[in-house]
Amino acid sequence: MTWNYRVVKQTYEADPEFVIQEVYYDKDGNPSGYCSTRLSGDSIEALEWMIDKLRKALLEPVLNDDDFDDKRVLDGPDRDIQHTDGSPDRQD
């Protein structure tokens, strides 16, 4: 399984909201779930890494809630998951 940050368009009472989420992908590369993004790290470099990945999310196509088959909201990343760019899960 892989993950990256993506913008997800969510609609509440007909009002759209764009949220940067940690999006997880199945073995075929399809979005399978997401969880809220938490900005924390054990160093300034770790935060810089996260901010770089967040900026890259703005360059990708926006995902919609209905892009997720089961609309799973995940509690947090599994440490065996790699970022879609091949880097380790996090720099913390």
**How much is the pLDDT for 91?**
46
Q: Is residue 45 part of a domain?
A: yes
> Nearest to residue 33, comparing CAs of 61, 6, 62, 60?
6
Which domain covers residue 71, as residue numbers? 2-79
Whether 63 maps to a domain, the answer reads yes
Residue-wise pLDDT for 22-54, tens only, equals: 999 988 999 988 888 778 889 999 999 999 999
Reply yes or no on whether the pLDDT at 61 is more than 70: yes
**pTM confidence score:** 0.72
Say what the pLDDT of residue 79 is: 44
- What distance in Å separates the CA atoms of residue 16 and residue 69, rounded to the nearest whole number? 20
pLDDT of 73 reads 59
Assigned domain for 92 exists: no
Q: Assess if residue 71 is contained within a domain.
A: yes
Examine residue 75 and state whether it is found in any structural domain, yes or no. yes
The answer to whether residue 31 is domain-embedded is: yes
pLDDT band at 92 (very low <50, low <70, confident <90, very high): very low
d(CA 77, CA 2): 10
Q: What's the total number of domains in the chain?
A: 1
- Backbone phi, psi, residue 82, to 5°: -105, 150
In a domain, 84, yes or no: no
Q: What is the percent of the chain with per-residue pLDDT over 70, rounded to a whole number?
A: 74
Task: Tell me what pLDDT residue 67 has.
Answer: 85
